[in-house]
Amino acid sequence: MGVKFTTITFIFFCAIAIYPSITTCAPDPCASQPDDSDLTVIPIYGKCSPFQSDPNSWLNTIIDMASKDPERIEYLSSLVVLKKRKPVNKAPIASGQAFNIGSYVVRVRLGTPGQLMFMVLDTSTDEAWVPCTGCVGCPSTTSFSPQASTTYGGPVACSAPRCAQVRGAFSCPAGRTTACYFNQSYAGTSFSATLIQDSLSLAVDTVPNYAFGCINAASGPIPSQGLLGLGRGPLSLLSQTASLYKGVFSYRLPSFKSYYFSGSLKLGPAGQPKRIRTTPLLRNPRRPSLYYVNLIGVTVGRVRVALPSQFLAFDPNTGSGTIIDSGTVITRFVEPVYNAIRDEFRRQVKGPFTSIGAFDTCFMKTYENLAPLIKFHFTGLDLTLPYENSLIHSSYGSMACLAMAAAPNNVNSALNVIANLQQQNLRILFDTVNNKVGIARELCN
């Protein structure tokens, strides 16, 4: 099979811009193109999304979303490979998994004929899962009906290799084979699901026999139309389409305020930017699903901040380091690193400062002209954040806040997270074959 690539648009169609040049774009309505070639990835509260929010409560929306970040950081920290144990006939429950931030959703069709689902896009999760018809405790809006699909391949057997790759999978009952059942939990909510197989359609591509979770019961709120995992594990989209997309994808996340337009998700090596700055993609055996990069420093304005190196260092023995994640809302540094960055930022802006929700460095917008640019230094790559990626404004524009925060102290290793607000309007390229991450500026206005 030849190398395949797919461009998945976010309502707005853009040509790639290699920094420092900027792409210009023309708006497009929410409807699919005539050939249905667009797989839509949009802000979850965009006007093309079925999950709309009050546009006048912009800061409150971000504060609410960012308030779930600590639970997500705990979830990311919990993604540790455990030693194999003798199977037992009981349902393991994973620790808290806060995917329910739902910053961006991707338009996917499951089964034949395709059933449209707006699934949360998550680079730190492997399995895909959706609420299925008859689910107890799931949102009542949209669910997947396996019985309505002519390509439904039935449940995966508990003895199948795919079942052993699911976190929280039940072991087979003694002496007999059943379906592959699993339990997972996140943000205080647990759910039970069956691993099933059916076709999954992304833009013009259809992936047959895709394995994903069919949720049967949930104890609380979950992403109402499911989640699509883009992690590095064996059941992720990247792994299940390895022969099709060759382990390469990129995305551009639009601004949260981009109600009618968004960026694009591109799958496969063809069509990716050719001239793009890259940094090594690291694999941490403690958390093999996550996308690690080597953050070596941070500059605020013209000042290279003195940071304790032990809190930046990549350590495969502990899982420490820095990851790029699509599901965390604001970038989180371990506390000593964040405090040093924040204190230098405050020194240059001068204040006075106040706190609003997760943001502890908010100031009157009249001081914004004093706000310094922030630059992340990765191995072989420097990323200067535009102001819209480092500051967030109140709904009426009177206050501005530094859009970063400290990671919770109760995680079991030093994990820094480059979050989606800091990735907006950037092309982020992941090449898992050549082990590199590329970053280029790409704007849609």
| pLDDT single digits (tens) 39-62 | 555 555 555 665 555 555 556 666
CA 172, CA 253: separation in Å to the nearest integer?
Answer: 41
Q: Which residue has the higher pLDDT, 204 or 63?
A: 204
| Residue 8: per-residue pLDDT | 54
Of 408, 255, 416, 389, residue with least CA distance to 321: 416
CA 160, CA 172: separation in Å to the nearest integer?
Answer: 10
CA 362, CA 353: separation in Å to the nearest integer?
Answer: 5
Residue 440 has pLDDT above 70, yes or no: yes
Residue 16 has pLDDT above 50, yes or no: no
Tell me, yes or no, if 325 is annotated catalytic.
yes
Residue 70 φ/ψ region, left for φ over 0, alpha for ψ in the -120 to 50 degree band, beta for the rest: alpha
Q: Which residue has the higher pLDDT, 54 or 362?
A: 362
Tell me, yes or no, if 122 is annotated catalytic.
yes
Least trusted range by pLDDT, from 129-143, 147-161, 218-232, 245-259: 245-259
Q: What is the pTM of this model?
A: 0.81
Q: Which two tokens stand for residue 326?
A: 């699509």
| pLDDT single digits (tens) 121-136 | 899 989 999 999 999 9
Give the pLDDT mean for 84-111.
46
Residue 374 has pLDDT above 70, yes or no: yes
CA 142, CA 133: separation in Å to the nearest integer?
Answer: 9
Residue 260 has pLDDT above 80, yes or no: no
**From residue 52, how far is each of 48, 256, 266, 353 by CA, in Å?**
8, 12, 25, 32
Give the pLDDT mean for 14-35.
42
Residue of 122, 126, 205, 360 marked active site? 122
Q: b/e string for 155-175 if b means 16 or more Cβ within 10 A?
A: bbebebebbebbbbbbbbeee
**In a 3-state reduction of DSSP, which class is residue 251?**
strand
Q: Which helix (H) or strand (E) holds 292?
A: strand 292-293
Residue of 28, 126, 325, 431 marked active site? 325
Of 57, 432, 63, 100, residue with least CA distance to 272: 432
Least trusted range by pLDDT, from 100-114, 365-379, 388-402: 100-114
| Residue 24: per-residue pLDDT | 39
The letter for the amino acid at 98 is A
Of 334, 315, 336, 441, residue with least CA distance to 389: 441
| pLDDT-above-70 percentage for the chain | 72
Q: What mean pLDDT value characterizes the chain? A: 80
CA 266, CA 260: separation in Å to the nearest integer?
Answer: 20
Give the pLDDT mean for 150-156.
97
For the chain, how big is the Rg over CA atoms in Å?
21
